[in-house]
Amino acid sequence: MAQSTAESPGGTKLRRDVGRIGLLFAGIGSIIGSGWLFGAFNTSAVAGPAGLFSWLIAAVMIMLIGLTYAELGPMFPISGGVVRYPHMVWGSFASYSLGFITWISSAAVPAIEVEGALQYATKYAPFTKEHELAGGTTHTLTPLGLGVAVVLMAVFVVINYLGVRLFAQINNVLVWWKLLVIVAVVVIFIITAFAGTKMGGPGNFASHGFAPHPSGIFTAIATAGITFSFLGFRQGIELAGETSNPKRNIPFAVIGSVAICAVIYALLQIAFTMGVPRSALDASGGWEKLTFENDFGPLAAIAALSGLGFLAIILYIDAIISPADTGLVYTTVASRVSYAMGRNGNAPRWLSTTNKNGVPAWSLLLTFVVAMILFLPFPSWQQLVGFITSATVISFGSGPLVVATLRRQMPDRERPFRLPGGDVIPFLAFYSSNMIVFWGGWETNKKLFITILIGYVLLVAFQLIGKKAPPLDFKAGAIWVIPWFLCMLAISFFFDPTNHPKAFYWVFLINLVVSAGIYLLAIRSRLPLDAVQHHITDAENESAEEEEELGAVG
């Protein structure tokens, strides 16, 4: 792993201390978090055994989105790329619109990972309490749980404050642990299920219906934690400015992390489906209302019910380690997003200052504060997961548009990794983003659009009181961003999967038309070439500064 020299306090440079495996493990480390601990259970409740296809479809959709960023990352190896790429092409308004959503969703992930760990830990202490919410069961933090959550968040901040190299070293160790545990669960569950013990076995795939609700195969992608479980691929982009060989490492990390975890998750869903005791399925009346003893920690509970006490103990331990590792990763990422917004001028400049360890300390502190606030309106894993999914995916939707626009505006620019197929992959990636947002449902998405509105209120305030607020480039950004958001809002409201199930499949066609329209509008509304080149030059100058710092010790 490359090393770098110390940076003087008050600087703005990040340090390149993350190598190829470190970057890959940052992606895998954030993908395998609390999602795998709850995702198989939640998916089965929504889609039944057909939930296997939910994981595979989601993997394809996330891979399409990830591939567009794999092209952009080596071109512009700058930290906080999800925010900065739109800034290069459409200016401040577009980058702020998507950056604010990205930042909120990133800051929410450490909070949800802490909630996931404490939900499993409820077996040992009253960290959460069961409640009925919207016809389902949720586990919300108790006062004791909230206090422990604050302490865990503080630990994430301290580790990140000490520097990205320490973060990468700790993360590499934890990822090996997580991979071993999840593979062990898959292998042991499948072997035990075929052995004809207390587990249901292969018969579970048909005994209570393979796909009780076919539309659930798609809605589970957004609501059961499936997409949430894949979102960690972004680490290869967000930490791009801190890796030693961006041209090689970024595509390797983005593609590798999604592919590896897709195989693992698909096998896990098979293992869970066969592992559920037949008695639990019969008593619940099927997959839709599946419940069993200690199901606040579903995988560990099934292991215990099946006589696999040793595996249950390991899972309860992992339920602390896996979410904690992902929370650690996302504490890093959220601080890098606000760092990027400070560099772009869309947020106070002090957010882009770094300490002697090359860490954006003020951004890190702000991430901690926001996570604390999010514990109040979203005190449970179940309440946060849908919001994070919709918010993150809609912000990712800009990446495919940036790829398509730059190919037209700068066709001869060097692309160390270039996607084949012209507009096919970028368009399908953008369409995938819009479909996942729709599947999230109105109850979730209305909170997303309220958050977007709050972001615009803050933007107006910053423009009015900010001493050095940059030009908004309002026309270039608003001409496609606002229609896009309004279309997503209208589709989510008028065709909500829960309230309007008969219209569900029509949205595949409606979103196709909307996606094509916004795709073309975004391409045509780009900034003039000289303005784009100016923004790119600013980004390249920072990259050169980082290369100079790395080269001083290389």
Closest to 280 (Cα-Cα) out of 267, 264, 292, 263:
292
Closest to 118 (Cα-Cα) out of 324, 298, 311:
324
> Which range (72-76, 94-98, 423-427) has the least confidence?
72-76
Q: What is the pLDDT of residue 262?
A: 92
> Which residue type occupies 214?
P
Residue 9 confidence class, pLDDT cut points 50, 70, 90: very low
Residue 14's Cβ-count burial label (10 Å; 0-12, 13-18, 19+) is: buried
Work out the average pLDDT over 2-11: 40
Q: What is the pLDDT of residue 102?
A: 84
**Which of the residue ranges 9-18, 112-121, 217-226, 289-298 has the most confident prediction, judged by mean pLDDT?**
217-226
Q: What is the pLDDT of residue 452?
A: 94
Looking at per-residue pLDDT, the higher value among 1 and 137 belongs to 137
Token pair in block for residue 130 = 């069961």
Mean pLDDT (the chain) is 83
Work out the average pLDDT over 412-418: 86
Place of tokens 């920690």: 297
How far apart (Å, rounded) are the C-alpha atoms in residues 127 and 143?
8
Check residue 127 and report its DSSP letter: S
How far apart (Å, rounded) are the C-alpha atoms in residues 451 and 88?
24
How far apart (Å, rounded) are the C-alpha atoms in residues 2 and 158?
22
Residues 6+ apart with CB under 8 A from 544: none
> Which residue type occupies 120?
Y
Q: What is the pLDDT of residue 5?
A: 39
Q: What angle do CA 501, 504, 506 make, to 5 degrees?
A: 140
pLDDT in tens, 28-50: 876 777 788 889 999 999 999 99
Work out the average pLDDT over 471-481: 90
Return the half-sphere exposure (C-beta side, CA atoms, 13 A cut-off) of residue 10. 0
Count the Cβ atoms, other than its own, within 10 Å of residue 154.
12
How far apart (Å, rounded) are the C-alpha atoms in residues 263 and 317?
23
Looking at per-residue pLDDT, the higher value among 467 and 67 belongs to 67
Residues 189 and 357 sit within 8 Å (Cβ to Cβ): no
- 534 sits in the region (left: phi over 0; alpha: psi -120 to 50; else beta) called alpha
Place of tokens 């990822």: 175
pLDDT in tens, 230-289: 987 766 665 655 666 777 777 888 888 888 999 999 999 999 999 998 888 888 888 888
Place of tokens 């070293």: 169
Q: Could you tell me which residues are beta bridge partners of residue 11?
A: 354
Place of tokens 């978090």: 33
Token pair in block for residue 244 = 């030693």
Q: What is the pLDDT of residue 385?
A: 86
pLDDT(133) > 70: no
How far apart (Å, rounded) are the C-alpha atoms in residues 330 and 199?
36
Check residue 501 and report its DSSP letter: G
The C-alpha torsion from 201 through 202 and 208 to 214, rounded to 10°, is 130
User: SS3 of 380, please?
Assistant: strand
Residues 101 and 341 sit within 8 Å (Cβ to Cβ): no
Residues 67 and 419 sit within 8 Å (Cβ to Cβ): yes
How far apart (Å, rounded) are the C-alpha atoms in residues 237 and 255?
11
User: Considering only the top CATH level, what class is 20-142+165-329+342-349+379-536?
Assistant: mainly alpha
How far apart (Å, rounded) are the C-alpha atoms in residues 273 and 162?
42
pLDDT(130) > 60: yes
Place of tokens 């819009």: 434
Residue 134 confidence class, pLDDT cut points 50, 70, 90: low
Q: What is the pLDDT of residue 459?
A: 87
Work out the average pLDDT over 309-336: 81
Looking at per-residue pLDDT, the higher value among 535 and 11 belongs to 535
Q: What is the pLDDT of residue 8?
A: 35
Q: What is the pLDDT of residue 530?
A: 93
Q: What is the pLDDT of residue 14?
A: 47
Q: What is the pLDDT of residue 64?
A: 94
Residue 167 confidence class, pLDDT cut points 50, 70, 90: low
Structural domain spans, the chain:
20-142+165-329+342-349+379-536
Q: What are phi and psi of 325, to 5 degrees?
A: -65, -45
pLDDT in tens, 328-381: 777 777 777 777 777 766 677 777 777 776 677 888 888 888 888 888 777 777
Q: What is the pLDDT of residue 461?
A: 84
Token pair in block for residue 163 = 């520097």
What string of DSSP letters covers 192-212? HHHTTSSS--TTHHHHT-S-S
Residues 205 and 215 sit within 8 Å (Cβ to Cβ): no
Q: What is the pLDDT of residue 547?
A: 43
Residue 382 confidence class, pLDDT cut points 50, 70, 90: confident
Check residue 410 and report its DSSP letter: -
Chain Cα centroid distance, residue 37:
16
Task: Compute the residue count for the chain.
Answer: 554
**Which of the residue ranges 13-27, 413-427, 457-471 has the most confident prediction, judged by mean pLDDT?**
413-427
pLDDT(111) > 90: no
pLDDT(467) > 70: no
pLDDT(515) > 50: yes
pLDDT in tens, 435-461: 999 999 998 899 999 999 999 998 888
Residues 395 and 102 sit within 8 Å (Cβ to Cβ): yes
Residue 550 confidence class, pLDDT cut points 50, 70, 90: very low
Residues 46 and 275 sit within 8 Å (Cβ to Cβ): no
pLDDT(10) > 60: no
pLDDT(15) > 60: no
Chain Cα centroid distance, residue 408:
29
Q: What is the pLDDT of residue 542?
A: 63
